[in-house]
Chains A and B, each alone.
Chain A
């Protein structure tokens, strides 16, 4: 009954929008870093500038948009609103923004106090968010696959946070921890346990419903996320006990699950019944192809671990997974979420008929930006392989692609404000999304 009572109290537009409009500029910062530092970023995955750029993307862009979208989507999928959404959004957005910047600077300048500050801010942001999410989902069982996937993903976020805080403790306070192994665990839980599980949960809803494809097979959609987390747990324990064979087995399992999911999604998308290829479809198709390549690399590394010892291997893998796959899925969604929320809030403001989404976010600039993203991705892959020749070019292209994304989204928000009736221009209007 708790869920029902909050059914119609959807968050004001200002709550999610701040996350979406800020995120692209963190990706731009990562590009500026690559542009200015050049080849050193790709010298190894342990370079401070590589770690700074990675966290600008994974925290400043990925975590930022994922948390903003979840604040919005809770009432839709679970009928449960998060308490005081605007206050929650302000605190989480502020702490995530400043925390991500501090962490990137702490890596760049090796400042222990800044690591501690970044850790504190990110702890505040994520713990507050997880607390509010836990309360909103309290009493909801595990029968609904979307809610189950959401809960598993939030568990993955907890583990990622705790591992990250351990690493911050090692860097800021000199805690004696096996940091190389911990870093692998932190990255795997962040990418597979949190981001991957959330992606799977959302894809089961978004792909069939919004792209009008056939549905995912029921058994597969019920089992994929739990099996993925089991593989991750097995991998984590094996890594802690240095059980090499089990580590490789679990890696192969994770890779096969990723291949199954991405392959299935591409297959379903090939049978979509929407005639026009929009930015959402384009981004999800290219993203799934990148995910297949990344999972193929993981499988290859599980079979032939010596290959993964090469300098470029983890860099190519990370570029494919973060820039090629996850950021593509997010970009595609942003191009639909922002104009839809804009339309909905204009509609609820109730002054005449709201302009359709295409007036707020036209398709052509979105598709042009998709091409820029593909170009930037290609240069990033070349830079991972031949840093001296391509790193600065890749940085430039990445800045261009993400500035175009930020500009497109900003324009959509600007058009929304133009259409908004003046007396209600508070950004606090209710909504029912």
Chain B
């Protein structure tokens, strides 16, 4: 696993940790903690999406000339996850536990199958095609992930 692959995969695991914390708080009906933890999770997810959409994907598209391929699918899935994140936040704010659990159950599977595609296919492809610009790209990604 290269540094780019490792950086982004580790950030996936970081988001998983934040997700687990929020879901556990919600399962104890501790709504204020759940809301705070879920807000952290949303922030980390948003930072990850933005880093990929504004830096990684354009670099990949520039290097391969493919704009309608895997990066388009990843953008589409990001949009779907943003909708789920918003729905989960709304359910938490309204104190509707059942709705929250229903949405995050879907979100977790969506998120993990998305991560699998990125980690198994897209990141290895990025490693292959972006070797020439890997150092500045990794620095930029690190900054984006740390910013929020």
Give the B-binding residues of A (Cβ under 8 A). Answer: 3-5, 7-8, 75-79, 144, 146-147, 205, 209-210, 212, 273-276, 278, 336, 340, 343-344, 347, 353, 356-359, 432-433
Contact = CB atoms under 8 A, between A and B. Distances in A.
Given A353-B83, A432-B76, A209 B101 contact: no
Contacts of A275: 23-24, 26-28
A77 B106 contact: no
Contacts of A7: 69-70, 73, 117, 121
A358 B73 contact: no
Chain A interface SS verdict (over half): helix
B11 interface: no
Contact of A358 (B19, B80, B87, B102): B102
Contact of A205 (B28, B69, B116, B124): B116
B109 interface: yes
B120 interface: yes
B109 A336 contact: yes
Interface string B105-120: 1101110110111001
Contacts of A76: 113, 116-117, 120
Chain B interface SS verdict (over half): helix
B117 A359 contact: no
Contacts of A357: 102, 105-106, 109
Contacts of A79: 70, 117, 120-122
B135 interface: no
15 contacts: A4-B70, A4-B121, A77-B116, A78-B121, A144-B124, A209-B16, A209-B112, A275-B23, A275-B28, A343-B106, A353-B83, A356-B106, A357-B105, A358-B102, A358-B106
B115 A209 contact: yes
A147 B28 CA distance: 39
Given A7-B69, A274-B20, A358 B101 contact: yes
A276 B116 CA distance: 23
Contacts of B94: none
A4 B69 contact: yes
Contact of B106 (A78, A144, A340): A340
A77 B98 CA distance: 31
Contacts of A344: 110
B10 interface: no
A358 B84 CA distance: 14
Nearest to B12: A209
A389 B124 CA distance: 59
Contacts of B19: 212
| Interface-centre pick from A5, A147, A432 (highest chain B CB count, 10 A) | A432
B132 to A, nearest CB: 18
B88 to A, nearest CB: 9
Nearest to A272: B20
B125 interface: yes
